[in-house]
């Protein structure tokens, strides 16, 4: 909303400098987005008196006019218009003046005669429309005097325009009056609005106004007034100037007056050409299914029963109530009599119709935020006043039903102080509210505390947003000033606080992965199905976005993999070398579709129910895993992708090893299990993405938490990545939901250790981890540590076999081990490995 | 007709003869593609009489589809064979790799653990954690909630019924529930009906609602998380962004406490001597509502380009919890009062680092990521 300062000053005598006013407005909640200083358009243009007019000796299209610009000297001006006579007061652009169109006035000789300036027409000054023949603007006699600047004569000069952002609750501030009222209240200045004259011509017949009973609900007030003589009417230059400053184009006196009233008072209104209205009147009804109307913007609109239709007296639609008039009864240059509509409409109905039709208008903006229902008659009077003495208006037909009575709201100063942290007296509150038009009407019965009842205030009709005590409390705070509220800290909660355990663990995940050299990425939640396919993932169960920004962002990610692959590729395209990226973020799916794909029953059936609850406190095991809203399940995933020389599936396995250790995961393992049934949801669909011989399932305490491995070569190629790509995808909730390994302290032995090296020839298909487990298990308490320190492959071992070289550090807590004891361990381990894994102890 | 049978026979032989995916791809043009007998026969159809043309045309089409299906089947077979061959020949025992990695840092190691190369936490993560820590130190919990929300939690419980004009303040992404999506998972504690649609949350406030639905005051919580608005991305707007908001509900909580809390936070985050400034504003879920500004972090209040000379920078919105919200979640609005605030984590990150373009945050360029 653009508001010229001069217009505000009509209602409140604000004298502060413009920047102070802008601050004051901002601190009332009327955010000043920009203040624009507008210079006077008429520098160097003054009022002059016509002394004489003479013919030009050698031209008959122009004549010579002698004028006095207030200094008593006669100046000769050559002029092409002939409408002035001796004694007339006219605008003279003096030498050096710059016209609104940019033309500079200089001393010029025309056919041998000097012209010392230029007399100006209304269009040249930008204050009126072009007439049928060129005419110089003539001031009304007595209103101005020679030498006076024209800006002053018109009542306007330099100005400041505030561009305000009005919040949706303040319908009243979509008007100059509303802004002025708040500003006056904020600055403690008087505010007044003059009553426009109200003359009703007795000989003008009242129009026909028919409101369908079923429409009162949507249109509780509808007024119609016939205004005659608008064909010759004009509006003052000031009106046109202000409309221009407010951002509207002056069009014709009737339209200008209508717009001016709307901007000034906030009452949208609509003049119809009465000669184009059948039945000489208007009706209001609901729209009919299938009904069509061409609105003023030339678009044909499909109507429905929730719409408010303005019709002529015979029922034909002529406008969309509260939003836009129809093209049919539009006023034109030949219009002489209008039927002016000023009404009140239901905000929700206007909002629903407007958003359904995608139709924005000044009227909609105001009605959907709430217009003062008592404004209509004033608006009619003001409209007539603006069109000048030449027009005559008849009686107003005022159809109203179901308008709410002025609201009365009980208010307790004690409540205001409790909410605000202030110590204002009731009298102070009443005074602050009074500045905004809230009037105390009576006092309610005392409450149970016996401390005197609340003071009941009548809410001004222009503030439909204030319906509750707390709304009045806000008004008190606003006018009192938010900055004047004393600041303190709230009482602190008495229980210990801190991050939840799973939140701390999640931080550890990030820190540990960064410690492996990976950098954290943040990719968009939006993907396309093609992104999933490119990454070798299934598309079933993906949640679609109804109104995506574009088709490449039409679904919610079911996996972090596509985003990470894209990030890896774009980095490679920018000449990045090796790269390791990880991300922690939410992924989404429709569970029904995914559950159907799972075999082995690993998807928690209760996931949706589990998820409905809030926060980590509710999930079993302490971590929130799934959240489901309206059948969409989301859960947090951990993803990692690495590319570069030396990268293969083992990269992820090594990262897992670090992660498992740092998080003290309980019995972490990598299982080369078949993928079916093991992982869950998004991770499951990874099957197609990973190299079939180079993938493993990560498990914690025997429960799968995710997959890692190497991207299948065809997927890597499709993703534009060269070389092997390491991938790790885990379900974060599952990863963190099992309690960590217990923290038990073991004393350290002071006795010497014996390191026992054992190399086993084992088939390639046997997992090293299984052999390691056997060694550790059989060596028992004596094994302080068992490591796989080398893997050796050679054809001498036989087809499909390799040598796993373990070193066990044996040590007893209470003695030095004997050679026999060590040999015994060696025997038992060798036997177990032979039995369980068909492994042969080498070198003996 | 014989020609059609011959073409089909020839095509089948070619497909059967291919021994690898590459070979199969190579024979496609000759089997039923551009260079095949099918192509020639299709070309010569126009020389036939109309009835015959129709008949031969149909036969050609049938034979060709049959062959294509056969080709597809063969392709799948070969691909599977190749994949499993590769799986066998390239098989890795990843548990072996993991065990060897353990050696590098184990107690039996002969060499010290290699000092790892450092990776980098995302700037937004680092700022988020710093914000969380400040509020945790002030006695707040950190709560989280779903990003895909229902209409009730994102709008209605926050005093925005359907068609409420304030909904226009948020450009919302709607989610297509399709056949798989059913209605809500039971009614909320506070009653009221759920809206028809699922949305991507436009702010973190629905978590407030979930929190208040699930327990009674006192509540001291902050809610960080990802939010969504349908804005075209530019230097200062992202459609996917991060917010953190706070909620305090207790007996005797006032707007003075809100201002005091924000002051304390601003000093902890931006440094001593900074202040928060409240300006009246409107949010459907708070009353009174305010925008809050902080002392400009570039010029410390003197006036500069960042703060357009005012010495203040707008940071977020705040206010006293609207009684309508308390009613929606079943908290006694006479007994309890509360305040809430919210602001963008990404914008704070930008403020901290003089980042000119927010889009850099989700570009994932390693040169950007490794600066922090």
Q: What is the largest CA-CA distance in chain B?
A: 96
Which tokens belong to A169?
A: 């609750």
Which tokens belong to A161?
A: 């325009």
Whether B148 has its CB under 8 Å from any CB of chain A: the answer is yes
Strands (E), A685-839: 690-700, 703-711, 725-731, 754-763, 783-792, 801-810
Model confidence pLDDT, tens digit, residues A212-258: 999 999 999 999 999 999 988 989 889 999 999 999 998 999 999 99
DSSP-assigned states of every residue in A611-664 = HHS-SGGGSGGG---EEEETTEEEEEEEEEEEESTT-SHHHHHHHHHHHHHHTT
Distance CA A601, CA A612 (A): 21
ipTM confidence: 0.83
Strand partners, A750: none
Whether B39 has its CB under 8 Å from any CB of chain A: the answer is no
Q: Give the nearest partner residue to B108 out of A167, A612, A785, using CB atoms.
A: A785
Distance CA B247, CA B204 (A): 11
Q: Where are the domains positioned within chain B?
A: 2-88, 123-147+201-369, 151-199
Nearest chain B Cα distance for residue A505, angstroms: 13
Q: Write down the residue that tokens 């330099």 correspond to.
A: A158
pLDDT value at residue B187: 32
Contact A738, A749 (CB under 8 A): no
By the 10 Å C-beta count (0-12 exposed, 13-18 middle, 19+ buried), A404 is classed as exposed
Nearest chain A Cα distance for residue B87, angstroms: 4
pLDDT value at residue A36: 93
Which tokens belong to B151?
A: 């209409």
Measured distance between the N- and C-terminal CA atoms of chain A, rounded to whole angstroms: 94
Distance CA A426, CA A414 (A): 8
- With an 8 Å Cβ cutoff, are A693 and B280 in contact? no
Whether B346 has its CB under 8 Å from any CB of chain A: the answer is no
Which of B324, B345, B356 is CA-nearest to residue B161?
A: B324
Contact A388, A228 (CB under 8 A): no
Residues of B in contact with A785 (CB under 8 A): 106-108
DSSP-assigned states of every residue in A238-256 = HHHHHHHHTT-----HHHH
Strands (E), chain B: 141-142, 148-150, 174-176, 198-200, 219-228, 240-250, 276-283, 286-295, 312-321, 337-344
Strand partners, A641: A581, A727
What are the φ and ψ backbone dihedral angles of A49, each rounded to 5 degrees? -100, 135
Contact B119, A580 (CB under 8 A): yes
Q: Does residue B122 or residue B82 have the better pLDDT?
A: B122
Model confidence pLDDT, tens digit, residues B104-161: 555 677 777 777 678 999 999 999 999 999 999 999 999 998 899 999 999 999 999 8
Contact A804, A724 (CB under 8 A): no
pLDDT higher than threshold 70 for residue B244: yes
**Which of B94, B117, B188 has the highest number of chain A CBs within 10 A, making it the mutation to test binding with A?**
B94
- HSE on the CB side for A435, CA within 13 Å? 23
Q: In what order do the strands lie in the sheet with A74-79?
A: A74-79, A59-68, A45-56, A89-93, A118-119
Nearest chain B Cα distance for residue A259, angstroms: 23
pTM for the full model?
A: 0.82
Whether A827 has its CB under 8 Å from any CB of chain B: the answer is no
- With an 8 Å Cβ cutoff, are B95 and A486 in contact? no
pLDDT value at residue A591: 62
Residues of A in contact with B310 (CB under 8 A): none
- HSE on the CB side for A813, CA within 13 Å? 5
- Strands B219-228 and B141-142, by their bridges, are parallel
Distance CA B267, CA B262 (A): 9
Quick one: DSSP state of residue A166?
-
Whether A173 has its CB under 8 Å from any CB of chain B: the answer is no
Residue of A nearest to B242 (CA): A522
pLDDT value at residue A17: 93
Q: Using DSSP, how many helices (H) and how many strands (E) does chain B show?
A: 12, 10
DSSP-assigned states of every residue in B74-140 = HHHHHHHHHHHHHHHHT---HHHHHHHHHHHHSTT-SSPPPPPPP----HHHHHHHHHHHHHHHTT-
**Which of A614, A650, A673 has the highest number of chain B CBs within 10 A, making it the mutation to test binding with B?**
A614
DSSP-assigned states of every residue in A32-73 = EEEEEEE--TTTTEEEEEEEEEEEETTEEEEEEEEEE-SSS-
What are the φ and ψ backbone dihedral angles of A9, each rounded to 5 degrees? -70, -15
- A residues 607-666 near B, CB within 8 Å? 608-609, 611-616, 618, 624, 627-632, 634, 648-650, 652-654, 656-658, 661
Whether A347 has its CB under 8 Å from any CB of chain B: the answer is yes
pLDDT value at residue B340: 97
pLDDT value at residue A602: 33
- With an 8 Å Cβ cutoff, are B149 and A470 in contact? no
Distance CA A580, CA A389 (A): 81
Whether B259 has its CB under 8 Å from any CB of chain A: the answer is yes
Task: Indicate the fold that domain B123-147+201-369 takes in CATH.
Answer: BirA Bifunctional Protein; domain 2 (3.30.930)
Rounded to whole angstroms, what are the CA distances from A355 to A277, A368, B167, B266? 28, 11, 11, 40
- HSE on the CB side for B353, CA within 13 Å? 21
What are the φ and ψ backbone dihedral angles of B212, each rounded to 5 degrees? -70, -30
Strand partners, A792: A803
Residue of A nearest to B140 (CA): A497
Whether B329 has its CB under 8 Å from any CB of chain A: the answer is no
Q: Write down the residue that tokens 């011989």 correspond to.
A: A693
Least confident segment among A529-533, B43-47, B183-187: B183-187
Residue of B nearest to A787 (CA): B103
Distance CA A311, CA A316 (A): 5
Whether B185 has its CB under 8 Å from any CB of chain A: the answer is yes
Give the pLDDT mean for B282-305.
90
- With an 8 Å Cβ cutoff, are A768 and B93 in contact? yes
pLDDT value at residue A786: 92
Distance CA B50, CA A744 (A): 90
Whether B37 has its CB under 8 Å from any CB of chain A: the answer is no
**Low-confidence stretches of chain A (pLDDT beneath 50):** 593-625, 675-684
pLDDT band at residue B196 using 50, 70 and 90 as cut-offs: low
- With an 8 Å Cβ cutoff, are B278 and A483 in contact? yes
pLDDT value at residue B191: 32
Distance CA A302, CA A309 (A): 12
Q: Give the nearest partner residue to A653 out of B98, B228, B252, using CB atoms.
A: B98
Helix (H, G, I), strand (E, B) or coil at A84: coil
- B residues 55-114 near A, CB within 8 Å? 83-84, 86-103, 105-108
Contact pairs from chain A to chain B, CB under 8 Å: 388
Number of C-beta neighbours around residue B142 at 10 A: 23
Q: Give the nearest partner residue to B281 out of A167, A630, A785, using CB atoms.
A: A167
Residues of A in contact with B240 (CB under 8 A): 524-526
- HSE on the CB side for A550, CA within 13 Å? 3
Residue of A nearest to B230 (CA): A549
Whether B163 has its CB under 8 Å from any CB of chain A: the answer is yes
What are the φ and ψ backbone dihedral angles of A429, each rounded to 5 degrees? -60, -45
pLDDT value at residue B103: 61
Distance CA A749, CA A730 (A): 38
Number of C-beta neighbours around residue B370 at 10 A: 11
Model confidence pLDDT, tens digit, residues A410-448: 999 999 999 999 999 999 999 999 999 999 998 887 766
Number of C-beta neighbours around residue A641 at 10 A: 31
Whether A507 has its CB under 8 Å from any CB of chain B: the answer is yes
pLDDT value at residue A777: 94
pLDDT band at residue B25 using 50, 70 and 90 as cut-offs: confident
pLDDT value at residue B219: 94
Which of A493, A83, A68 is CA-nearest to residue B136?
A: A493
pLDDT value at residue A773: 93
Distance CA A385, CA A253 (A): 12
Q: Give the nearest partner residue to A544 out of B92, B99, B176, using CB atoms.
A: B176
pLDDT higher than threshold 90 for residue B53: no
Residue of B nearest to A522 (CA): B362
Distance CA B225, CA A469 (A): 33
- With an 8 Å Cβ cutoff, are B367 and A517 in contact? no
Strand partners, B228: B240
Helix (H, G, I), strand (E, B) or coil at A135: coil
Strand partners, A731: A637
Contact A534, A562 (CB under 8 A): yes
């Amino acid at each position: 909303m653009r508001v010229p300062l001069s217009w505000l000053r009509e209602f409140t005598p604000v004298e502060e400098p413009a920047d102070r006013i802008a601050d004051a407005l901002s601190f009332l909640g009327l955010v000043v987005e920009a203040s624009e200083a507008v210079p006077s358009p008429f520098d160097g243009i003054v009022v002059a008196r016509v002394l004489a007019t003479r013919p030009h000796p050698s031209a008959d299209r122009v004549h010579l006019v002698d004028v006095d610009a207030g200094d008593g000297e006669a100046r000769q001006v050559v002029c092409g218009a002939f409408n002035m006579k001796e004694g007339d007061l006219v605008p003279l652009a003096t030498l050096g003046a710059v016209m609104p169109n940019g033309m500079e006035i200089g001393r010029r000789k025309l056919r041998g005669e000097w012209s010392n300036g230029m007399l100006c027409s209304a269009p040249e000054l930008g204050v009126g429309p072009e007439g049928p023949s060129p005419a110089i603007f003539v001031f009304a006699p007595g209103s101005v005097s020679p030498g006076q600047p024209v800006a002053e004569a018109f009542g306007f000069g330099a100005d400041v325009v505030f561009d305000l952002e009005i919040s949706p609750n303040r319908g009243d501030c979509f008007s100059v009056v509303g802004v002025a009222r708040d500003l006056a209240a904020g600055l403690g200045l008087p505010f007044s609005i003059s009553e426009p004259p109200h003359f009703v011509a007795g000989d003008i017949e009242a129009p026909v106004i028919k409101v369908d009973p079923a429409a009162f609900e949507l249109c509780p007030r509808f007024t119609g007034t016939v205004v005659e003589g608008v064909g010759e009417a004009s509006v003052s230059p000031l009106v046109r100037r202000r409309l221009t400053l407010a951002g509207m184009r002056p069009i014709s006196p009737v339209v200008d007056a209508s717009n001016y009233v709307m901007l000034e008072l906030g009452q949208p209104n609509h003049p119809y050409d009465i000669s184009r209205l059948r039945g000489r009147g208007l009706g209001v009804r609901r729209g009919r299914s299938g009904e069509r109307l061409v609105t003023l913007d030339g678009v044909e609109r499909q109507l429905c029963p929730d719409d408010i239709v303005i019709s002529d007296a015979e029922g034909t639609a002529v406008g969309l109530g509260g939003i836009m008039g129809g093209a049919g009864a539009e006023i034109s240059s030949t219009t002489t009599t209008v039927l002016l509509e000023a009404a009140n409409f239901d905000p929700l109905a206007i909002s629903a119709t407007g958003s359904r039709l995608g139709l924005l208008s000044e009227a909609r903006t105001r009605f959907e935020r709430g217009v003062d229902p008592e404004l209509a008659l004033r608006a009619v009077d003001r409209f007539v006043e603006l069109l000048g003495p030449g027009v005559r208006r008849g009686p107003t037909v005022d159809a109203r039903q179901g308008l709410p009575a002025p609201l009365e709201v009980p208010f307790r100063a004690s409540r205001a102080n409790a909410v605000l942290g202030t110590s204002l007296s009731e009298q102070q509150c009443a005074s602050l509210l009074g500045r905004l038009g809230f009037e105390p009407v009576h006092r309610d019965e005392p409450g149970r505390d016996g401390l005197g009842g609340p003071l009941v205030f009548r809410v001004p009709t222009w503030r439909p947003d204030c319906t509750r005590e707390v709304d009045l409390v806000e008004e008190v705070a606003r006018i009192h000033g938010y900055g004047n509220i004393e600041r303190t800290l709230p009482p602190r909660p008495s229980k210990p606080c801190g991050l939840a355990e799973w939140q701390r663990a999640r931080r550890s995940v990030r820190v540990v992965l960064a410690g492996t050299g990976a950098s954290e990425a943040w990719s968009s939640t939006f993907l396309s199905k093609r992104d999933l396919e490119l990454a070798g993932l299934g598309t079933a169960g993906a949640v679609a976005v109804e109104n995506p920004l574009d088709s490449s962002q039409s679904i919610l990610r079911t996996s972090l993999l596509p985003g990470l692959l894209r990030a890896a590729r774009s980095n490679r395209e920018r000449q990045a070398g090796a790269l390791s990226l990880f991300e922690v973020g939410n992924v989404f799916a429709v569970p029904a579709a995914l559950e159907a794909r799972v075999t082995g029953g690993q998807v928690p059936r209760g996931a949706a129910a589990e998820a409905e609850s809030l926060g980590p406190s509710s999930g079993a095991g302490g971590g929130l895993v799934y959240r489901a809203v309206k059948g969409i399940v989301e859960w947090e995933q951990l993803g990692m992708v690495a590319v570069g020389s030396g990268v293969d599936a083992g990269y992820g396995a090594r990262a897992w090893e670090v992660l498992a250790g740092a998080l003290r995961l309980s019995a972490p393992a990598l299982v080369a299990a078949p993928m079916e049934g093991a992982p869950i949801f998004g991770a499951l669909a990874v099957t197609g993405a990973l190299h079939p011989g180079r993938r493993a399932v990560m498990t914690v305490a025997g429960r799968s938490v995710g997959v890692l491995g190497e991207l299948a070569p065809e997927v890597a190629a499709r993703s534009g990545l060269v070389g092997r790509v390491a991938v790790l995808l885990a379900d974060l909730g599952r990863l963190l939901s099992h309690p960590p390994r217990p923290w038990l302290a073991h004393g350290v032995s002071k006795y010497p250790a014996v390191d026992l090296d054992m190399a086993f020839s084992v088939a390639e298909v046997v997992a090293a981890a299984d052999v390691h487990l056997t060694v550790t298990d059989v060596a028992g308490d004596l094994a302080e540590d068992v490591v796989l320190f080398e893997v050796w492959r050679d054809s001498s071992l036989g087809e499909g076999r390799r040598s796993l070289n373990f070193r066990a550090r044996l040590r007893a807590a209470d003695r030095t081990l004997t050679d026999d004891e060590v040999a015994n361990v060696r025997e038992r381990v060798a036997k177990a490995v032979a039995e369980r894994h068909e492994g042969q102890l080498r070198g003996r | 007709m014989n020609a059609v049978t011959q073409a089909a026979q020839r095509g089948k032989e070619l497909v059967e003869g291919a021994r690898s995916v590459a070979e199969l791809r190579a024979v496609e043009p000759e089997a039923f593609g551009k260079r095949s007998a099918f192509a020639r026969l299709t070309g010569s159809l126009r020389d036939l009489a109309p009835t015959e043309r129709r008949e031969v045309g149909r036969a050609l089409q049938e034979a060709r589809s049959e062959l294509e299906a056969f080709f597809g089947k063969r392709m799948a077979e070969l691909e599977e064979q190749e994949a499993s061959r590769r799986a066998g020949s390239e098989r890795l025992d990843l548990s072996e790799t993991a065990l060897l990695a353990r050696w590098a840092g184990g107690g039996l190691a002969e060499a010290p653990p290699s000092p790892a190369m450092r990776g980098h936490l995302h700037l937004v993560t680092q700022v988020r954690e710093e914000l969380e820590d400040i509020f945790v130190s002030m006695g707040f919990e950190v709560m989280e909630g779903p990003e895909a929300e229902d209409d009730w939690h994102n709008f209605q419980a926050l005093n925005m019924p359907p068609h409420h004009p304030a909904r226009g303040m948020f450009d919302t992404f709607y989610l297509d529930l399709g056949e798989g999506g059913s209605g809500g998972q039971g009614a909320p504690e506070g009653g009221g009906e759920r809206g028809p649609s699922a949305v991507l949350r436009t702010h973190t406030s629905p978590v407030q609602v979930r929190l208040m639905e699930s327990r009674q005051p006192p509540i001291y919580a902050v809610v960080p998380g990802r939010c969504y608005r349908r804005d075209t991305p530019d230097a200062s707007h992202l459609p996917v962004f991060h917010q953190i908001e706070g909620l305090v509900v207790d007996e005797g909580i006032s707007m003075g406490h809100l201002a005091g809390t924000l002051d304390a936070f601003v000093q902890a985050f931006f440094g001593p001597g900074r202040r928060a400034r409240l300006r009246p504003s409107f949010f459907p879920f708070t009353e009174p509502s305010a925008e809050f500004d902080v002392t400009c972090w570039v010029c410390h209040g003197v006036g500069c380009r960042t703060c357009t000379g005012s010495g203040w920078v707008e940071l977020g919105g705040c206010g006293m919890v609207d009684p309508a919200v308390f009613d929606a979640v079943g908290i006694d609005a006479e007994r309890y009062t509360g305040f809430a605030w919210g602001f963008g984590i990404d914008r704070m990150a930008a403020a901290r680092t003089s980042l000119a373009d927010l889009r850099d945050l989700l570009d994932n360029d390693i040169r950007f990521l490794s600066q922090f």
